[in-house]
Amino acid sequence: MKKKDKGWKVKFSDEVIKELDNLPDEVYDKLTEIVKGVKEGRLDPTKIGNPVDFIDLDKKLQCPKCDSKKVEWVLDKNSKDVIFNCFKCNECFWMTYSEHKNAIKRNSHKLVRINK
């Protein structure tokens, strides 16, 4: 989003535009209302939602897709969501922190050793 004189310019990626048709009607209507408010300057996108505060997790599993150890596991402290990114094959997904802890228990043989 870019700040304009009275509002903000809103741009969507091609991927998001494709997914808009899959949204339930009530979600689509709410999203449309928010976008309109941002464009008109009634809503400030810098004040919507919660800030993201990532911390790097010490316990990391290899990539489930390619077994690479070049991975990133981060926790958003404000939402308790864990985000995974593989730097080799670009696999990415998210899970809850409790799901992450369970995955570590089930797959301890795939732990990435971190040199500190």
Q: Are residues 76 and 101 in the same domain?
A: yes
Q: How many domains does the chain have?
A: 2
Q: Looking at residue 26, what is its pLDDT?
A: 94
The Cα–Cα gap between 109 and 116 comes to 20
Tell me the CA end-to-end span of the chain in Å, nearest whole number. Answer: 39
Q: Are residues 43 and 58 in the same domain?
A: no
Q: Provide the Cα torsion 62, 66, 70, 74; round to 10°.
A: -60
Read off the pTM: 0.59
Q: Are residues 63 and 41 in the same domain?
A: no
The Cα–Cα gap between 82 and 65 comes to 17
The long-range contacts involving 51-57, CB below 8 angstroms and separated by at least 24 positions, are 51/78, 52/76, 52/78, 53/77, 53/78, 54/83, 57/82, 57/100
Q: Are residues 75 and 94 in the same domain?
A: yes
Q: Are residues 83 and 68 in the same domain?
A: yes
Q: Are residues 38 and 64 in the same domain?
A: no
Q: Are residues 58 and 101 in the same domain?
A: yes
Q: Are residues 42 and 64 in the same domain?
A: no
pLDDT tens track, the chain, 116 positions: 556 667 888 888 888 888 888 999 999 999 999 999 998 989 888 888 777 789 999 999 999 999 999 999 999 988 889 999 999 999 999 999 999 999 999 999 999 977 65
> Running DSSP on this structure, what letter comes out for residue 45?
G
Give residue 72's domain range.
54-112
Q: Are residues 42 and 63 in the same domain?
A: no
Q: Are residues 27 and 68 in the same domain?
A: no
Q: Are residues 71 and 41 in the same domain?
A: no
